[in-house]
Structure 1
Amino acid sequence: MPPTGDAKITPDELKTTSVDTSDSTSPGNASSSYEAKTVWRVRQVPESWTSKKLQSALSVCLKTGIAEVTIQSLATDFGQQGDGSSRTATVTFGKAPAPLLASTNGVFKLSQFDDYHDSGPQVFIDKDFVGFTPLSPVDNDSKHAIQCVLIHGLGGHAIASFTDDTTGFMWPRDKLPQAYPALQVWTYGYSSSLLDEDSNSNVYEWAESFKLHLRIHRRLCAINRRHPFPLIYIAHSLGGLILKEAMISMSRASESSEDRANILSSYGCLFFGVPSQGMDTANILTMIENPSARYTLVQLDQQVGFRLRKRQHADFRSAFHFEDSQVVHFFERDKTATLKLNVTTNKWERKGEKVRLVTPESATFGGVGNDSDDNSISIGADHSNMVKFRMSDVTEISKVLDVIDRFLQAAPTVINKRFGHQSSSSPAYSAFGKSPLLLPPPETRDSSEATPELPNNLPCFSGDGFYGREAILSKISRHFNDHTVQNPAFGLYGDGGVGKTQIALKYVHEHSRQYETIIWIYADTSDKVSSACNLIARNLNIVDEMTSDADVCRERLQKWYREHAGWILVFDNVETIADILPYWPNVIGKKGHIIVTSRNPAAARTRPLTDRMEVECFSVTEGVELLISELGDISSHVDRTIAEEVVKRAGCLPLAINHMASYISEHHGSLMDRRFLDEFDKQENLVLDEHVATGTNWDYEKTLATCWTLSIDSLRDPAPELLDILALYDPDVIVCKLLEHFQDTEAEALCKALSDQQTQFQALSSLQRFSLVKRRAVRGGVLEAFQIHRLIQDAVRRRWDSDQRWQQAFDRAIYCLSKLYPRQVNGGSMVASYPDCALYNTHIVSILRHYSKNKSKIRANLGFAEVLAHCGWYFYERGQIAVAEEILTPAKSICDRETLGRMNKTLALVYNNLAGVYFSKELVQLCAETMKICIQHRKACLDRTNPEIQELAMAYSNYANNLSDLGHAKEANTYYRKALDIRENCPGCTPDLMEHTLYNFAFFLNTIGQVDEAFEYMERALVQHSAISHVSGLSLYTLYFYGNLLWDREKFERACEIHKNCLRERTKIEGTEHYMTGSSMYRVGELLCAMESQEEGISHLRQALENFRLNMENGDKGLLPRTCLRLGKILIDRGSSIGDERSVLEGEELWKEGISLAWSRKNKRITSIDEVNGLVDNTFW
């Protein structure tokens, strides 16, 4: 209960009474006796000074032993001058420094030598920490990409509020900058002592003061920056209300003001015990006499309440209205001891009844942006200690670090979208999304250059335990800076787990400022490389979103490489060089650099690589240093002799050392005895008993098997079940939502970790703590994902000692994919779903390969076959025909086995998609036979009242195409009309589906001589365009063919208008180098010449000629000889008419070339211009 009677504090008692009323015990509230944990701030330290030099100078100046001076941090303070010309330190003294305690203004002149004491630099020393104080080390200056601002609570302190009282560990200073070098951490202090009789501030005044400080601070920090850093906030208790109020005020500033820029730059907030609906202040009120302090407390009280609670939430949501922002609420799980007067000392102490100062309801009230249940998190501490973590408090601090990591992934992309310009990281492009490594932009970049904003795909292992490798990094750097090397490409090869990817990532990180663009491609399979390049091309805005042709994407990327400088391309984990050669830049020169990593020595030692180096395991000494650095908080509790033994057990393999460090930290808490070694040896003996050597490198296999088994055996259900699922997926990017099927009864029957959110969180946290998985973000930070090392996946699968274990993992993995993989809708294109397909294709291919190798252990069902059917169609649409066939063929086998001859929709889908593959392979007869089987299944399974009946219409139309190609015109006509009947009279038809059938029917009618009817149906196809939101490849074929029909009707001007429109749209989608773009160039040129616009027409024909010459390597379709003959004849006729001999000679040369090419194509001599069109398929007429 609160104290009663006359125990209130009056101003006269302030000098003799000590009380902890705040969120922390700040230096200002400490007792009069000096405490060694008191932290001091030293400002205006020269930028050239190191921590060691400052320590020596303070020792001399303050007349204390050098051992008594501890420099806790030394950071560049852009907020002082705006140019980083000074530094700010946080310092503690083991013994009371008399000159400092006696000082009235905190001004001192420093020198390392007594003789020069008066001539040293002037610094300012204080312990109040009012305003902004930088905490990130100077070594991180070049890496900063996001600013993080801390705000303490009522009666708190900028340092002490976030510092563990026992150990002095301040996690925002001692943990965050080390874990996230990209984070520039600042703490903000304001005077809010409840015992200050002169204080009359309130929430609004504190908010205005914070807003002003932030404005000035950000202005100075941005002096040498092109764009402001994104902002995230960490606020405790009252600090959160102050921040809310400040953001409300900022939102009301003018559009062009700095305050508006600051709120636009704000990505998210971490609120710790913020009393959005008040707090229990009754106990404190009984001891406070100061009216201003009492008023503030009354405002906060949950029962009295105040207008903040009534209107602040609504105003804050309005001010911070961004849907792409996040606010995460942390609430205290433990009660806080109330204040009780010690009658002996006449001091208030926290020894009274325990109460919950801020209820979970108050702490988690209200959210903004991407608000969800995940954004309300408990902390196992009381109100004061919930922001004071110990080094050993891994469980609680990991909750916070997880949120910060999530914010780091998303903030750069989100904030720069708001400003409408490029990402604050060097634009690093890839197939999936934003990396946890944030790279600052080169300062030399032209601010006027419009560079598209793209996500990157850098591995999440960045910075995790990287140590050494200076020789390799130096060699890469020297090679890339050797100007005698024409096409610099460096190969790194070595066993799995030696750190090849980490070295490549370290190089990219260290040299980020010299690159405009970073491209990282996971390259272990050719289909992953192709899919990655497709998405990179889209993100670079060099192909349209609707572009499906993989060849187009590859060609556009090649052109982009040629035309842009300052890029680096990493092909990571290459299996064979053949997989990446089609995507290898054909021109590098001084424009870019390439790194290839591979476990296959041949892949990293052959041309076109220009240099290479094998990556080997660490030496024992290097391994020990890595182990100690990875042990983090317990690194001081390590016996080096035992550490050496651990490293030897790990085979000096970096991945194994990293893993052992996680296990030791989780299970032992120190490395001072042989407990871990004994445990390891015991497990190794079990491995020897259970495993048979599978290769020549048995020691390597044994080491890894022992490491992984130790951790896997320590897992509790359902973490092993979740790990089993991950062991079947592709390891590089496993999006979290693939596993999230909460409240799904079917998922609950399969695995509780899939259906229960809390269970899944605990399971994934366990996997992370043991370094079995790593968390990251993708798709610009919108999606979160995991990575798992391939060697860990291998170890997990080796432990499956029964077919049942294989089947369970397989069923669960397939269930997750089947719930999320996009579907073809009524037989239509999947082009709009390509980005989502790209998230899951690699996992489907991975599971299919495991299935193919383990058919004796796994039985696949129709659900798997259906997913394979849709995935196969994706690859078919993208022109990856071989991959499509590899996926669809087993899908057919599964369906045949499961259906036993019964008619089935899934089997119909598989046959439909296989027919497309056979058509692309020009197996027309097989295509027709396959499509006929598809029709039989769909007729049996689909009712005309079901919108899926449109799939039958698609099958009819495609089958009619096959019949037409085989010369069965009458039967083809029948099936085209059947298809059109369903389109017109059944539900589910869309404009693009209608266009598809009308176009095919019109094309067919034209080929059999029914020209007028063909024109009628083609006009109907064209009408559909007004209802289609995007321009597709089919739309362009419709335009092209319609233009040709107008030509045949001698409507030249209208035909030319249609063909120009087609050319314009095709250039956008397919670029200038695609052969169909060349066909449109040819047609426009021909029309213009016919309309007497010969100069313009000849120009288009020349462009077409250049296009077809480039495309000769893709096979001669007759386009080049036709163009040579047509342009040659036009030049001859034109030259003869105007007396231009050069034009005649050029025309004659082109005619000769065309005749030669035509002979080789048709084995016949062209004698007249009327025969020219016969050189090509009627598609290009």
Structure 2
Amino acid sequence: METAIGLNLDHKETCLFTKNLGDEGLPELTKFIHETLHDAVNLVALRLEQYQYATMSNSPTSELAQEVEQCALTGPSNKATEGISLSGVELVSSTPKSDIAKPVHLPCFVLNTHSANKDFCGRQDILERLATELLPSKNTVTASSGALKQFALCGLGGIGKTEIAREFVRRHKDSFDAVFWVVADEIAKLDNHYQQISLALGLEDSSECKSQVVSREIVKGWLANPQKHISESDGSVQPGEASPEATWLLIFDDADDPMTLTDYWPQGNGSILITSRDPSSKGLFTSKPSGLDLGPLSQKDSLSLFNHLITTSSELEVDTARQISDALGGIPLAISQIAGIIRGQDLTLSGFLDLYADHEESASFYETKFNTNSGTYGHSLSTVWAFGKLKPQPQRLLELISFLDPDGIGEDLLEASVELFSDGASFKESKYIEARNDLLQSSLVRKDNQKQQLSVHRIVQDVILATMDSGRKRYLFDQVVRILWADWPSAMPKPSKEPELPQPKSSGNRLYVGRWPACAAIYPHILRMHQLWSVMSDSSEATKLLFAKLLIDAAWYQKERGRTKQFDGFFETARNICESSTYPDRDSLLADIHFCLGSIAMDTSNFDTSRIHKERSFDLVSKICKELGTADDRLYLAYAERGISRIQDTRYDEGEADLKEALRIREALGNYIPRSGEANLSWALLLQGKLEECNTLLLDSLAGREKALGKNDREDVRTGLILYALGNLRAAQNQWDESFQYHRRAWHHMRETVGERDFYTANITHKIAEHLIRSGNNEEAIVRINDALEIWSVDRNAHKNEIACTTFLKGNLLAAMGKMQKASIAFRVACRLRKEITKEDRDLKGLTTKDFDDIVAFWAR
């Protein structure tokens, strides 16, 4: 980055400073607060008191620095503090500035699209309690006028938590401006739901919606300040009139691990309903527990539900119905599914009762079918649901379904797997339809006609798996892995050595955003398979390795969608499989793991870790290719990645050599189109002062991409990287106008490919700010700097280096504008962060822009 100048430090950055400064800097900050904004301290304290239990941190709330930061970054809108910050300047909105002009789509209902449960029965007292606890106050004008409402329905599986929540939404949806149903059993599902909410509200459009982590923060920002009219300049709000705020209800369904919600918990004045097996959910992020533990249906409601599902005519049948209802213990799921079995097999009530009266497991059925103390289910549930009475085809279909994500199983996936339950007969769609309809009639699965998906209760899955012998489990696990892999568009290049394992739908799609929808549809099933992996035994080596390939690619997909950590344990499982395997494809997979971990570490400025992984990946790939006597796309990538690490280590000549070898390999393969390798090579040349060679390389690369893909293609970010490098080259040549033109083109390109809030976009936004500073446009430069910081702050731990660098730029700008007090705060933030990163305790006067450039990746300079 060129000479840095710049800042207008807002509340968020001040609070970020306090967290990183720790106790050492608190007296200095406290003095500043008391001298400049005594009233603001009282307002912050008030907000802390209201929301300290709803913050995202588990750290103690006794430290002012951490509490203030939480309040600033994730706290709800407070009209009393709007427009105020500890630095005396206007707050940066928690909703990114680029969204301010966008209309919010209200009313907005993002729900599970299963039709209303026409068989819902009873629970009237609970529904009335939910209405009391969660419905918005009729006299509420703005979201800041009240506290967050939350309520948890807890209890064992099958007790009816989800159905009660669904019925509450059906009855009261129109009482809210927005209702969002979120399946909360896995982080990946939470991410996907929040992104869908962002799209549905109009906070992002599909061209922007790249990073799921960013979408999550945008949605949380709106929930904290749910404006019906984002801009008051549209004339819809009269001067002096309170801006109306939307009322919202958020349902976290199946939140059996409540702490999974930590990063997704909103603030504001909305309503939250949780369903969970964990009773601690009632006290989640609040000082006052709110919720109840659901018990079975009353005898009256239990019989009412059973009679609703099974028509009884004679007095004898009424008595038999009561006996069956009592035997099922008031568990709604058991009642509805037994009724389905009776209907599906055309049994009389007395016939059903006789059938099971003398069953050898009847005693254990009555005692353990739903153990409320342990939360476990006995094998006797297979008796309850009469799985053994199903025809072979629906039973096998149900076995297959037990290995897939229970909340959304595409019928196209099941139809493609029909041979697994068709007795070896040739594919006939009618076979699948017949088997599916049998399961629907038995109430064992449900169908979402809109999405053409099936869903199944987790208990049904658990019982099917518990009653399946180990050989059948192994067979189905193997087949499901192969089915998922066959449909997966792989990011990794095809292995150098012809693999013995099956190949995916396509390969080599790294950074290609067009594959994301297919990956998003398959990913939940991979999560389910990963859950089952720990209980699988004696899988074949081929199945283990193929499963590892699937996990590696799925984790990389999550990286592309914005994650920098918490890859659902996929890398760890894949690595454990590979390191204990002797299968021929093993080394290729280990190379992929090290490649992924090296790239992720590089993106998060963990350069030492990145170097280690990239060197290991290179060693593995080069060994394979040497043995085969070949040079392919994987070897190209290995050289290119090692070259990146060597450039970062200032070994520019070695980095140049690696990248030139990489390009030589790829050109020899044919169908050559310039990629990011050319941009990275240009950095090695630029940093060595080889400006003419750098210029030729970049212009030829840009022309090559335009010839192959058209001018300003939007296939991926690579054209933007070349434009970025050209802008830096022109700056080194003191051709500032042309430098600005290239950087501006890169800025537009990255926003339209990876999105407005990707870290690539943040890098170029910083560059745009430098140009604006140079031209004297300080106010717009401040806006761009804040935009960049807004992007970095989504994942502050991963992007601490970039935050330090951009905050130093902001400090220089404030100093140049004569705002020395605010500049001082920014400089302290930047210097403290740099000290944490480098362990160097250097005085501000001795630090330059280069010192901050050195702590970020070279392509961000």
TM-score in same-fold range (> 0.5): yes
Matched, 1:527 2:188: yes
Report if the CA contact (8 A) 2:153-2:292 is conserved: yes
Report if the CA contact (8 A) 2:422-2:431 is conserved: no
The change in CA–CA distance for 1:1089 and 1:974 in structure 2 (over 3 A counts) is: closer
Q: Which residue is equivalent to 2:596?
A: 913
Q: Which residue is equivalent to 2:399?
A: 724
1:570 positional shift:
1.4
Report if the CA contact (8 A) 2:400-2:476 is conserved: yes
Query: In structure 2, which of residues 235, 254, 257 is the aligned counterpart of residue 573 of structure 1?
Result: 254
Rg (Cα) greater in structure: 1
Q: Which residue is equivalent to 1:975?
A: 658
Matched, 1:603 2:281: yes
Report if the CA contact (8 A) 2:106-2:178 is conserved: no
1:855 positional shift:
2.5
Q: Which residue is equivalent to 1:614?
A: 293
The change in CA–CA distance for 1:1084 and 1:1008 in structure 2 (over 3 A counts) is: same
Report if the CA contact (8 A) 1:903-1:940 is conserved: no
Q: Which residue is equivalent to 2:49?
A: none
Deviations along 1:85-130, one digit per CA (max 9) or x if unpaired, are xxxxxxxxxxxxxxxxxxxxxxxxxxxxxxxxxxxxxxxxxxxxxx
Report if the CA contact (8 A) 1:496-1:599 is conserved: yes
What amino acid maps onto 2:800 in structure 1?
G
Report if the CA contact (8 A) 1:904-1:937 is conserved: no
Distance 1:939 1:454 in 2: 54
What amino acid maps onto 2:610 in structure 1?
V
The change in CA–CA distance for 1:882 and 1:711 in structure 2 (over 3 A counts) is: farther
Query: In structure 2, which of residues 129, 138, 145 is the aligned counterpart of residue 475 of structure 1?
Result: 129
Q: Which residue is equivalent to 2:810?
A: 1124
1:531 positional shift:
3.3
1:557 positional shift:
1.9
The change in CA–CA distance for 1:856 and 1:512 in structure 2 (over 3 A counts) is: same
Distance 1:749 1:506 in 2: 35
1:588 positional shift:
2.2
SS in 1 for 2:310: helix
Q: Which residue is equivalent to 2:119?
A: 465
SS in 2 for 1:740: helix
SS in 2 for 1:491: strand
SS in 2 for 1:1088: helix
Deviations along 1:989-1021, one digit per CA (max 9) or x if unpaired, are 4x4xx2211112112323344343334333344
1:1179 positional shift:
3.9
Report if the CA contact (8 A) 1:684-1:706 is conserved: no
SS in 2 for 1:755: coil
Q: Which residue is equivalent to 1:495?
A: 156
Distance 2:789 2:563 in 1: 27
1:1173 positional shift:
5.7
SS in 2 for 1:828: coil
1:829 positional shift:
2.4
Report if the CA contact (8 A) 1:818-1:867 is conserved: yes
Distance 1:961 1:750 in 2: 52
Deviations along 1:1131-1160, one digit per CA (max 9) or x if unpaired, are 03xxxxxxxxxx566556666776676667
Report if the CA contact (8 A) 1:1123-1:1154 is conserved: no
Distance 2:364 2:128 in 1: 40
Q: Which residue is equivalent to 2:526?
A: 844
Matched, 1:1003 2:683: yes
Distance 2:329 2:401 in 1: 26
Distance 2:794 2:639 in 1: 37
Deviations along 1:716-763, one digit per CA (max 9) or x if unpaired, are 222222221111112111111112238x9xx47995489332222222
Q: Which residue is equivalent to 1:1046?
A: 730
Which structure is higher in helix share? Answer: 2
Deviations along 1:15-41, one digit per CA (max 9) or x if unpaired, are xxxxxxxxxxxxxxxxxxxxxxxxxxx
Q: Which residue is equivalent to 2:535?
A: 853
1:896 positional shift:
5.7
SS in 2 for 1:775: strand
1:981 positional shift:
1.5
Matched, 1:819 2:481: no
Which deviates more, 1113-1122 or 724-733? Answer: 1113-1122
Q: Which residue is equivalent to 2:304?
A: 625
SS in 2 for 1:596: strand
1:511 positional shift:
1.7
The change in CA–CA distance for 1:626 and 1:995 in structure 2 (over 3 A counts) is: same
Deviations along 1:447-493, one digit per CA (max 9) or x if unpaired, are x9673999945163741521122222222222223567511122111
Report if the CA contact (8 A) 1:1081-1:1103 is conserved: yes
Matched, 1:785 2:785: no
Q: Which residue is equivalent to 1:924?
A: 610
Distance 1:635 1:1046 in 2: 88
SS in 1 for 2:361: helix
SS in 2 for 1:580: helix
Report if the CA contact (8 A) 2:812-2:823 is conserved: no
Q: Which residue is equivalent to 1:834?
A: 516
What amino acid maps onto 1:964 in structure 2?
I
Matched, 1:682 2:682: no
Report if the CA contact (8 A) 1:741-1:754 is conserved: no
1:1103 positional shift:
5.7
Identity %: 20
Q: TM-score, normalised by structure 1?
A: 0.54
Query: In structure 2, which of residues 212, 234, 237 is the aligned counterpart of residue 550 of structure 1?
Result: 212
Which deviates more, 979-988 or 506-515? Answer: 979-988
Distance 1:1023 1:455 in 2: 47
1:814 positional shift:
2.1
Alignment of 1:379-390 (within 5 A): none
Q: Which residue is equivalent to 2:551?
A: 868
Alignment of 1:1017-1166 (within 5 A): 1017-1023=697-703, 1026=706, 1027=709, 1029-1030=713-714, 1032-1064=716-748, 1066=750, 1077=761, 1079-1094=763-778, 1096-1097=780-781, 1100-1101=784-785, 1115-1117=800-802, 1118-1132=804-818, 1162-1166=840-844
What amino acid maps onto 2:456 in structure 1?
I
Report if the CA contact (8 A) 1:731-1:788 is conserved: yes
Distance 2:678 2:489 in 1: 26
Q: Which residue is equivalent to 2:411?
A: 736
Report if the CA contact (8 A) 1:489-1:611 is conserved: yes
Report if the CA contact (8 A) 2:801-2:833 is conserved: no
Matched, 1:959 2:642: yes
The change in CA–CA distance for 1:855 and 1:722 in structure 2 (over 3 A counts) is: same
**Which runs of no fewer than 5 residues in structure 2 stay unpaired?**
1-101, 228-245, 492-506
Query: In structure 1, which of residues 942, 947, 950 is the aligned counterpart of residue 633 of structure 2?
Result: 950
Query: In structure 2, which of residues 268, 290, 293 is the aligned counterpart of residue 588 of structure 1?
Result: 268
The two structures, once aligned, show a CA RMSD in angstroms of: 3.9
Report if the CA contact (8 A) 1:520-1:569 is conserved: yes
SS in 1 for 2:744: helix
Q: TM-score, normalised by structure 2?
A: 0.73
1:880 positional shift:
3.4
SS in 2 for 1:521: strand
Total equivalences in the alignment: 703
Distance 1:504 1:897 in 2: 46
Q: Which residue is equivalent to 1:313?
A: none
The change in CA–CA distance for 1:1039 and 1:1130 in structure 2 (over 3 A counts) is: farther
What amino acid maps onto 2:808 in structure 1?
R
1:817 positional shift:
1.4
Report if the CA contact (8 A) 1:885-1:914 is conserved: no
Distance 1:962 1:1169 in 2: 25
SS in 2 for 1:518: strand
1:1102 positional shift:
6.2
What amino acid maps onto 2:816 in structure 1?
I
The change in CA–CA distance for 1:464 and 1:930 in structure 2 (over 3 A counts) is: farther
Distance 1:516 1:943 in 2: 64
Distance 1:1115 1:806 in 2: 46
**Which runs of no fewer than 5 residues in structure 1 stay unpaired?**
1-447, 1133-1142
Query: In structure 2, which of residues 476, 479, 495 is the aligned counterpart of residue 809 of structure 1?
Result: 476
